[in-house]
Amino acid sequence: MSRLSIVHLLRANAVSFSSVVQIGDSQEIHLLARALAVQRQFEYVDSSEFPLIFPIYTKRIPLPPVDEEPLYRRTLHDCPVIAVHSVRIIGVSSTSVVHIGSTKKVEADSRVKHIRQLSERRGRDASTRRSN
């Protein structure tokens, strides 16, 4: 049974990186994000420096086993309306969903590769200064 979703006020500051804010019913929601985060001690930017082919992006994520036992569910919605007065969202990011309504299926996949590049020289200088 579909229900009517009524929202008086929804305020979202930021929605990014394959995220969804949805009011109302949906059959399926599929979210997918890939990110590369590089942290450096010194500023340097070269967009062709890193190939975007890392195992973390292609590795298969195992799904939990499905129990073969049949599942029986009965839901009774006394009221055919989902009523929300107000929602304040600071941020929704990296394949997240804010959903006021019903959904049959949600699939979300977010993969982030973090790379840290720290200077060896600077680390030694700092440890030398501390010991003096």
The reported pTM is: 0.66
- The secondary structure of 3-58 as a DSSP string is -EEEEEEEEES-B-SS-EEEES-EEEEEEEEEEEEEEESS----TTSS-S--HHHH
- Residue closest to 22 by CA, chosen among 77, 94, 90, 103: 103
- Residue closest to 12 by CA, chosen among 68, 88, 103: 88
- Are 104 and 27 a contacting pair, CB within 8 Å? yes
Can you read off the two tokens belonging to residue 81? 């309306």
Confidence of residue 9 (pLDDT cuts 50, 70, 90): very high
How confident is the model over 65-115, as pLDDT tens digits?
Answer: 887 788 788 888 788 899 999 999 999 998 899 999 988 899 999 998 888
How confident is the model over 14-63, as pLDDT tens digits?
Answer: 998 889 999 999 999 999 998 888 888 877 767 677 766 788 888 998 88
126, containing H or E segment: helix 120-131
